[in-house]
Amino acid sequence: MNRSLVAVLLSVALLATSSSLCSCMQSATCQHTERENIRVLIVDGFSNHDWKQTTVLVRQILEASGLFSVDVSSAPSADGPSDGETWRPPFDAYDVVIQNCNSIGDRGAWPEQVQQDLERYVSQGGGVYILHSGNNAFPQWEEYNKMIGLGWRNKNFGWAITIDNDGRLRRIPPGEGANTGHGKRIDALLTRLGEHPIHRGLPQSWRAADLEVYRYARGPAENLTVLSYAREPETGLNFPIEWVVRYGEGRIYNSTFGHVWTGASNPPAMRCVAFQTLLIRAMEWVGGREVTWPVPDNFPTDKNIQLSGENS
């Protein structure tokens, strides 16, 4: 077969592939490019935070990037209608699950069957993004604790991690230190560790808006990589802000970004350019994709935070 014929056949094959990916190639609003969107399921339904507004704002950020297709599934809460028997989100139909439930104060729980579904989904390669106080949830669920690595727990629950100023990690044993806690939210200076794909091209340090810096988050802390840390004002120690965990074949990203309290209007934690950039990049990574989202020109420096325009 001569070279020009091979080239023609290749072009035909490529055309066939792209049209099977996208049936709206002529549409100006079509956001499909070479790859299909990352399929995302936000799971919410109960929290001490404003979970409804959180879901709306996160969905807006993800959809505006053009990289994601987002669905939402709301779990039955302790004071809501009791349809726990029928609630069974189809995790396997998605590349990433965003966990936006916080059970603190007995607000709700996921049925046993749904817990097992998530365990199987992640161990077989599914991605999970733990959103803000999602790591406060489900202390009795042993496999969830393994997935998040560290969470809002009492001081006897498990290991905590601090980071020396030279970037070395120290593991604090159960019983040493304190319960998990945080002080007033601050425009925290974050410093990154290593060269994780989510952080490729970022400055070494930057400021994140209106952040809760957790002290002594606790857990089994296995198969865990700390991506960034900040100094916690009360203890003067550095604690993790972002970390990732491997669970079977799956990937989990955790951070304390994204605080939205009831009644908040245009919450700065959601307008933070660092949060928005890292949300999209982390979602690409936990979804098993190459991290392609660019670092914007207005990504914050170590001096000042950067806020995007008001949320609509």
Q: Which residues bind Zn ion (CB under 5 A)?
A: 259
CA distance 292 to 213: 28
Closest contact distance (angstroms) between CB of 92 and Zn ion is 30
Residues 6+ apart with CB under 8 A from 169: 161, 162, 163, 226
User: What strands lie across the sheet with 250-255, from one edge to the other?
Assistant: 68-74, 38-44, 96-99, 127-130, 250-255, 238-247, 224-231, 186-192, 205-211
Q: Which of 223, 211, 217, 221 is nearest to 240 (CA)?
A: 217
Q: How far is CA 40 from the centre of its chain?
A: 11
The residue behind tokens 């980071």 is: 163
Closest contact distance (angstroms) between CB of 137 and Zn ion is 13
Closest contact distance (angstroms) between CB of 261 and Zn ion is 7
CB-nearer residue toward Zn ion: 76 or 134: 134
CB-nearer residue toward Zn ion: 146 or 207: 207
Closest contact distance (angstroms) between CB of 132 and Zn ion is 6
CB-nearer residue toward Zn ion: 183 or 201: 183
Closest contact distance (angstroms) between CB of 216 and Zn ion is 16
Q: How far is CA 153 from the centre of its chain?
A: 19
> Which amino acid, 285?
W
CB-nearer residue toward Zn ion: 196 or 259: 259
Specify whether the CB–CB gap between 200 and 182 falls below 8 A: no
Closest contact distance (angstroms) between CB of 285 and Zn ion is 24
Closest contact distance (angstroms) between CB of 212 and Zn ion is 5
The token pair at 92 is 């396997």
CA distance 285 to 303: 28
Helix or strand holding residue 148 (H, E) = helix 142-148
CB-nearer residue toward Zn ion: 77 or 102: 102
CB-nearer residue toward Zn ion: 107 or 259: 259
CA distance 105 to 163: 31
CA distance 119 to 116: 5
Looking at beta carbons, which residue is closest to Zn ion? 259
CB-nearer residue toward Zn ion: 207 or 259: 259
CA distance 156 to 181: 14
